[in-house]
A and B are shown apart, each in its own frame.
Chain A
């Protein structure tokens, strides 16, 4: 869930800059629509279909030579799909509406500032097909940004961007069922709003000649969620706080008949939250919470991890219209303190680590200057030393094949 929030916020921030090229026109419309639909066949579970729709509609209005306003609406739907371990169920879906408004002011030839506001509503839906309005993790986010660009090489599109964003994020439907059950007379006040948080993010991104890199620091401060004390196992007086630092880099280049866009990122995530694992609701032995096979086990720093991701997509242009594509995506997450669990839900001595690799082969057809179509097949291999898979699979393989369209102006 935290990753979804980060993705939504970061997409909104990145898209608002990358959306349009400015020219001498007063109005410059922007339209980008991507559609992907695929069939998924996992080694555990039955075949299912899923897809992704992303529609961005924007308008850049040039008021004066140095002042412009950019508005962008973004509709995004993410359907059922294979998911990295410890994230979501295959059948979970998300749909979001995002609005970004940005004022752009040129300061001389090389500098530009971009204050802006952002509103996002995100709906989530599980495999139970509840109404979109009733999703447990429905989220709304509002906030502002201040970005500054420094253009140091006009010929090779070289610029530095620093962005500071602030978001207030609420989860109106989120509740703690256990607390409601235990405190039935006073439910709404005590069990709601536990995911509500404020998010601040600072990023610094240099770009030059198709090469890019970035440093992003994100902090999430929870409004109501308290930290479980690592010694007593009960909620204390400290509020949950998560921090995430990401460094990434890559390039987009055309080399001979190849289009290459490799990317590498490394994320360090830290949280002050701990985790009290109950093997069953009836477990009550709190005498030895450090024992990984006890009914109740305390896992301090359960959510801390380091994650390495790299992807190497490449297209081999056979003709001007046709290309063969291949891509490798690898995500490896290592938990710093969380032990791996065996099939009996007992913690082992080794720390949990997950690996998810995706190998994709595709055929791309460029339909005209603005539209492309891609047929693809992907093989996903997910492995982990966590063998307790009663609720979510950690070790599986999966095949998917589908079609994707993109139309962008």
Chain B
């Protein structure tokens, strides 16, 4: 391992002369501009973090899940998800895939707090849900592929107090009602990492908005650790920590 570090250090030194100073202020303004340009897409990425889009482990009938990071903390998404197995793989007939129904709801607590604390905002809501189904099929003792569909909806509604409306270039805006809605197709592959432990990789693709993401997940009986990657999002990497119980 020391040799590895040494080699990488040498490579970094070779490249060192080409490092330009990173303009973090400019980068921050660019990211802020992207959030302002499309706030729903920014917040929807966090909803995807809490969505349970992997199949139930073989032998389990249902599960409940809640996203801990970054959904509950720091984003303040109160959330609950569930999965229900309609039938197990090969139960109806040999080769018929497992079919799970998935769904969940989330509501941003910080938005409600903002409305309570602010004199200029009467109400603020940022909530969403998702519903879908996942087919999963074993292609070898160590490999399970899965395919799915989900409909995801995120609503964002802000009402300003009379006299406190937003002034956008001379136009008074009394409320903002926006959101994100799309139908997603999912494809993934799962492989065991140990007893009751799995590793999976999946692609989610929104048909209408062409939003896409990949999820890398490591999950066991109770926790899921993941890296969600949103290549076209404001924050590309989302480290994810979710809690679930399977029955």
A residues sitting closer than 8 Å to B (CB atoms) are 29, 31, 33, 35, 37, 41-47, 49-51, 53, 55, 57, 75, 77, 79, 93, 95, 123, 129, 132-133, 324, 359, 361, 363, 367-371, 377, 379, 381, 397-399, 405, 407, 409
Measured CB to CB, the closest approach of chain A to B10, in angstroms, equals 8
Docked CA distance A259–B231 (Å): 31
B15 and A47 contact, CB distance less than 8 A: no
What chain B residues lie within 8 Å of A133 (beta carbons)?
210
Q: A29-B145, A324-B7 are in contact. Are A398 and B201 (CB under 8 A)?
A: no
Partner of B231, one of A53, A55, A407: A53
The CA-CA distance from A106 to B145 in the complex, in Å, is: 29
B27 near A47 (CB under 8 angstroms)?
yes
- Inter-subunit contact B8/A361 (CB<8 Å): yes
Query: How far in angstroms is the closest Cβ of chain A from B198?
Result: 11
Tell me the interface secondary structure of chain B in the complex: mixed
| 16 more A-B residue pairs beyond the given contacts A37-B236, A95-B212, with a C-beta to C-beta distance below 8 A | A31-B145, A35-B214, A41-B19, A46-B23, A47-B27, A53-B212, A53-B214, A75-B212, A93-B231, A129-B37, A324-B7, A377-B12, A377-B15, A399-B15, A409-B140, A409-B143
Contacts of A57 in B (CB 8 A): 187
Residues of B within 8 A of A398 (CB): 18
The answer to whether the Cβ of B2 comes within 8 Å of any Cβ in the partner chain is no
Which residues of the other chain, B, contact A55 by a CB distance below 8 angstroms? 187, 203
Contacts of A361 in B (CB 8 A): 7-8, 11
How far apart are the CA atoms of A346 and B25 in the complex, in Å? 36
- CB pair B15–A75 under 8 Å, yes or no, is no
Contact between B139 and A29, CB atoms less than 8 A apart: yes
Q: Nearest Cβ distance between residue B12 and chain A, in whole angstroms? A: 7
- Cβ contact within 8 Å between A33 and B201: yes
Contact indicator B236/A49 (Cβ below 8 Å): yes
A31 touches which of B34, B189, B229 (Cβ 8 Å): B189
A-B contacts, 14 listed (Cβ < 8 Å)? A29-B145, A31-B139, A35-B201, A35-B214, A44-B20, A47-B27, A51-B229, A75-B205, A93-B232, A367-B193, A368-B191, A371-B199, A398-B18, A409-B140
Q: Is the interface of A mostly helix, strand, loop or mixed?
A: strand
Q: Which residues of the partner chain A approach B145 to less than 8 Å between Cβ atoms?
A: 29, 31, 409
Distance from B208 Cβ to chain A, minimum over Cβ atoms (Å)? 10
- The 8 Å CB contact of A379, one of B11, B188, B210, B237, is B11
CB contacts under 8 Å to A, within B63-77, are none
Closest to B145 in A: A31
Instruction: Tell me the nearest residue of chain B to A132, going by C-beta.
Output: B210
Contact A51/B18 with A407-B189, A409-B143, A409-B189 known, Cβ cut-off 8 Å: no
Q: Which of B184-239 contact A (CB under 8 A)?
A: 187-189, 191, 193, 199, 201, 203, 205, 210, 212, 214, 216, 229, 231-232, 236-237
CA A368 – CA B141 in complex, angstroms? 13
Which A residues lie within 8 Å of B216 (CB)?
A: 35, 405
* Contacting residues, chain A, for B168 (C-beta < 8 A): none
Contact partners of B15 in chain A: CB under 8 A = 377, 379, 397, 399
Selected contact of A43 from candidates B11, B12, B18, B27, CB within 8 Å: B18
Residue B91 lies at the interface, judged by CB distance under 8 Å to chain A: no
Rounded to whole angstroms, the CA-CA distance of A53 and B229 in the bound complex is 10
Contacts of A29 in B (CB 8 A): 139, 145
Chain B 1-19: CB-based contact to A (< 8 A → 1; otherwise 0)? 0011001100110110111
Query: Known: A57-B187, A132-B210. Contact between A43 and B20, CB under 8 A?
Result: yes
Q: Given B7, B23, B26, B231, which contacts A79 in the complex, CB threshold below 8 Å? A: B231
Instruction: Give the residue name and chain of the A residue nearest to B137 (CB).
Output: A29
Contacts of B201 in A (CB 8 A): 33, 35, 371, 405, 407
Measured CB to CB, the closest approach of chain A to B6, in angstroms, equals: 11
